[in-house]
Amino acid sequence: MPFDIRAIRRDFPILQTTVRGKPLVYLDNAATSQTPQCVIDALTHYYAQSNANIHRGLHYLAEQATLAYEETRKRVATFIGARSSREVIFTRNATEALNLVAQSYGRATLQPGDEILLTEMEHHSNLIPWQLIAKERGAVLRFIPVVATGALDLSRIDTLIGPRTKIVAFTMLSNVMGTITPVRELIQRAHAVGAVAVIDAAQGAAHRPLSVAEFDCDFLAFSAHKMCGPTGVGILYGKAEHLEQMPPFLGGGEMIHTVELTHSTWAEIPHKFEAGTPNIADVIAFRVALDYLATIGMDKIWAHEEQLTRYAAQRLAAMKKVTIYGPGLEDLRDAVIAFNVKGIHPHDVSQALDFEGVAIRAGHHCCQPLMRRLGVAATNRASIAFYNTFEEIDLFISALERTQQFFGVAS
Ligand code: 7TS
């Protein structure tokens, strides 16, 4: 199917709306993506036609809802190249998926003095869970540094990874700088010392084709809401051999095999990790989002976004008094650009752009250690999705030029 941007944009009702009387230019996709009509329809259809609790009732609706929910699990498995849908666990978001690994795998395996290797560019969601479990188990956190170009500095990796390293957890794609991390290389390094590799694909899964089988990662986490799906659905992929050994994360209904008053046994994976009534409607609608992305093609999505990101970075770089953080114009960068405008606080830039209908994010982007590394308290961030256009980048840049003029720091 050809990449027809006009047709794609018609699929998203929100992209037809205006904000403060201006056409919406949505460049906050790293925070959450917009939702196509087919996903909205799937949600309405579920509540109108097949609402029931799953995995328990024997009536028609319960059966239909259960089938549809499990259908999404199979769809996710295919989408990420997992060997089996048993390796796909539904959580609330990527954050909960990463906490699950830390609280279950981490608590069961970490010994005092063991090391967890992270990077300096992690989102707090892939940092705090490890801080919590490291403190509890007496484990030590180590960090791969980030250099000025936003890349990971692997020159001293041999001093950071070794026999004490038990977990290596890192993002596929920086949610601040758009840096693409060397996923395969890091996974191989982790496995070479017997550590497990945990991939935070919250950004990565939305932008590039990925295969957990090809990566050979042990765990991978992402969120549906960053890839055209509803909010409230996260995915944890885990190799069956790990998941089978791991204790439950949360206890309650539907995760048990037998229950006595004082002890219990657990259901098979993946159900062992899905206590209580899950987010049925949103999981079911997420299948439609994955079908939608697959119909367009993740390779085409990546190719379009790559061009747009390059164009946006070039236009920003051509402006005076604008600093871009992370990869240079010649380096690979994916969908995310952090920048500051000299003399204007990022919150003011963001607010001024909002008056023009342009939505970006300003702040620390849940990456306070990275902000310190970059020597700033906050940045602006424009983040791109496949439904964005070159015209929208132009509107963003001209709104930014007017902002500079308004604040008297015109280039
Ligand atoms: N990891 C990365 C790399 C992220 O970018 C985010 C969310 C998360 C984990 C957490 O995802 P959640 O769905 O569990 O919240 N990032 C952002 C962002 O950059 N702006 O808003 C949310």
From the CB of 175, is ligand 1 less than 6 Å away?
Answer: yes
The dihedral region occupied by 194, where left means phi > 0, alpha psi between -120 and 50, and beta the remainder, is left
The structural domains of the chain, with segments of one domain joined by +, span: 5-30+297-406, 40-294
**Dihedrals phi, psi of 71, to nearest 5 degrees:** -65, -40
Q: Distance from the CA of 31 to the center of ligand 1, in angstroms? A: 6
Region 164-168: what's the mean pLDDT?
98
Lookup: tokens for 225: 């809401």
Q: Is the CB of 224 under 6 A from ligand 1?
A: no
411 Cα: distance to centroid of ligand 1 (angstroms): 33
**In angstroms, what is the span from residue 225 Cα to ligand 1's centroid?**
10
Q: Which residue's C-alpha comes closest to atom 18 of ligand 1?
A: 31
Q: Compare 135 and 409 and report the one with higher pLDDT.
A: 135
Instruction: Indicate the class that CATH gives domain 40-294.
Output: alpha beta
Mutate to test the pocket of ligand 1, among 126, 203, 380, 384 (most ligand atoms within 8 A of CB): 203
What whole-number distance in Å separates Cα of residue 78 and Cα of residue 74?
6
- Find the Cα–Cα–Cα–Cα dihedral 44, 49, 52, 56, rounded to 10°: -130
Distance of alpha carbon 404 from alpha carbon 390, whole angstroms: 21
- What integer is the mean pLDDT of 247-261? 97
pLDDT of residue 332: 84
- Which of 123, 174, 179, 367 has most ligand 1 atoms within 8 Å of CB, for mutation? 123
For residue 188, count other CB atoms closer than 10 A to its CB.
13
Instruction: Compute the distance from residue 92 Cα to the ligand 1 centre, in Å.
Output: 12
User: Among residues 38, 217, 228, 366, which one is catalytic?
Assistant: 366
Region 243-251 average pLDDT: 98
| Band of residue 313 on the pLDDT scale cut at 50, 70, 90 | very high
pLDDT tens digits, one per residue of 13-23:
999 999 999 99
Query: What is the full DSSP assignment across 57-84?
Result: --SHHHHHHHHHHHHHHHHHHHHHT-S-
- Residue 1 has a pLDDT of 74
CB of 128 closer than 6 angstroms to any ligand 1 atom: no
What are the residues facing 271 on neighbouring strands? Answer: none
Q: How far is CA 64 from the centre of its chain?
A: 30
What's the 3-state SS for 110-172? CCCCCEEEEECCCCHHHCHHHHHHHHHHCCEEEEECECCCCCECCCCHHHHCCCCEEEEEEEC
Residue 2's pLDDT band, with cuts at 50, 70 and 90, is confident
As a whole-number percent, the residues of the chain with pLDDT over 90 amount to 97
**Quick one: pLDDT at residue 57?**
86
Cα(405) to ligand 1 centroid in Å equals 33
- For the segment 67-92, the average pLDDT, to the nearest whole number, is 98
* pLDDT one-digit tens code per residue, 263-283: 999 999 999 999 999 999 999
What is the pLDDT, as a whole number, of residue 247? 98
Q: What percent of the chain has pLDDT over 70?
A: 100
What is the average pLDDT across 174-202? Answer: 98
Which atom belonging to ligand 1 lies closest to the Cα atom of 171? 3
Ligand 1 closest atom vs CA 223: 13
φ/ψ of 304, rounded to 5, equals -65, -45
Distance 56 CA to ligand 1 centre (A): 33
Question: What integer pLDDT is reported at residue 172 of this predicted model?
Answer: 98
Mutate to test the pocket of ligand 1, among 175, 207, 226, 383 (most ligand atoms within 8 A of CB): 175
Residue nearest to atom 16 of ligand 1 (CA): 31
Confidence of residue 410 (pLDDT cuts 50, 70, 90): confident
Q: Look up 38 and say whether it is catalytic.
A: no
Residue 307 confidence (pLDDT) above 70: yes
- Predicted confidence band at 411 (pLDDT cuts at 50, 70, 90)? low
To the question of domain 5-30+297-406 being in CATH 3.90.1170.50, the answer is: no
Is residue 178 within 8 A of residue 149, CB to CB? The reply is: no
Does 381 sit in the ligand 1 pocket, CB within 6 Å? Answer: no
Q: What is the mean pLDDT of the chain?
A: 97
